[in-house]
Amino acid sequence: MAHSRVLLGAGQQPAQLSVRRIGMADLKDALGKGFEDFKAMPTHAVFLTLIYPLVGIIAARAAFGYSMLPLIYPLAAGFALVGPFAALGLYELSRRREAGLDASASHAFDVLQSSSIGAIAALGLLFVAVFGVWMAVANAIYVANFGYMQPVSLSQFASDVLYTPAGWNLIIFGNGVGLLFAALVLTIGVVSFPLLLDRDVGAAVALLTSIRAVLANPLVMAAWGLIVAGLLLIGSLPFFLGLAVVMPVLGHATWHLYRKLVDAEDSPRPEPRKSPTGKRYAADFPSSLFPWSR
């Protein structure tokens, strides 16, 4: 029964959600509202996304040993692959602000007490797996072109990538494959996490709804993907510090984009999980760590 709820939600039948068609003006409006949310809650948003510049700085520092140098660009590009999952707290703050509720930073973690947490966790694992596959594929593309030898210096690595046939193959093929991964994540993630935060519909329904939203608005969603990629590129300079602004704005904007794309008013809302009462036994470990499995 618990596994069924993770996939299909709280209703007796899988939710039948309506997907709307939107235009470019809606993307502009969603970004504007996302920026307004960021201005209203800047310290909250920067706090929640501080991990991004920190990870970037750590990655850049690791590159001074040159062994990680070929993976710095794929790692930076990979932020977009886990972004929909990592921005959960931002969706919650935007949801609360839109509803006129207290939007203090502590409420960003209310999702942990949601009855949808099982579906969110399952979907999050899928996105983390996609990120891991992308990093493995990116490494394989580099090895196919340059072998297993590590770069001897940053300048030599840049020269090899920019001025050799192997480097051109790496740029063209690597970015092409990366585009496919980005398109996959956009298709399955553009509304799935905001939907699970807003409604208890299950991971399978959320994925299907996200796919339907993209298929109903292919050109607009392609434009959204380009906007996200462009802003992430800008935010990565210098030293990824701009992500502390770009990621919150995109996270908030994604919530408002979900609200434009999906009509979920007839679906059940998530309920706060009840804390288990009574005695706990050793036999319950480790399942007791995953309350949504009960």
Whether residue 280 lies inside any domain: the answer is no
Rounded Cα distance between 201 and 6, Å, is 8
Whether residue 237 lies inside any domain: the answer is yes
Is 11 within 8 Å of 264 (Cβ atoms)? no
Q: What is the pLDDT of residue 294?
A: 47
Is 243 within 8 Å of 49 (Cβ atoms)? yes
Tally the C-alpha atoms within 13 A of residue 176's C-alpha that lie toward its C-beta: 7
Whether residue 186 lies inside any domain: the answer is yes
Domain boundaries, position 207: 25-270
Whether residue 286 lies inside any domain: the answer is no
Whether residue 282 lies inside any domain: the answer is no
pTM: predicted TM-score of the whole model, two decimal places: 0.81
User: Residue-wise pLDDT tens for the chain (294 aa)?
Assistant: 455 656 655 555 566 789 999 999 999 999 999 999 999 887 666 666 666 666 666 666 655 566 667 777 787 777 778 888 888 888 999 999 998 888 887 787 788 888 788 889 999 999 999 999 999 999 999 999 988 877 877 788 888 888 999 999 999 999 999 999 999 999 999 999 999 999 888 888 999 999 999 999 999 999 999 999 888 888 777 667 777 888 889 999 999 999 999 998 877 777 776 655 555 555 554 454 454 444
Is 130 within 8 Å of 232 (Cβ atoms)? no
Total domains, the chain? 1
The residue type at 214: V
Q: Could you give the maximum distance between any two Cα atoms of the chain, in Å?
A: 68
Whether residue 46 lies inside any domain: the answer is yes
Backbone angles phi, psi at 272, to 5 degrees: -60, 135
Is 138 within 8 Å of 102 (Cβ atoms)? no
Whether residue 194 lies inside any domain: the answer is yes
Whether residue 197 lies inside any domain: the answer is yes
- Beta pairing partners, 263: 18
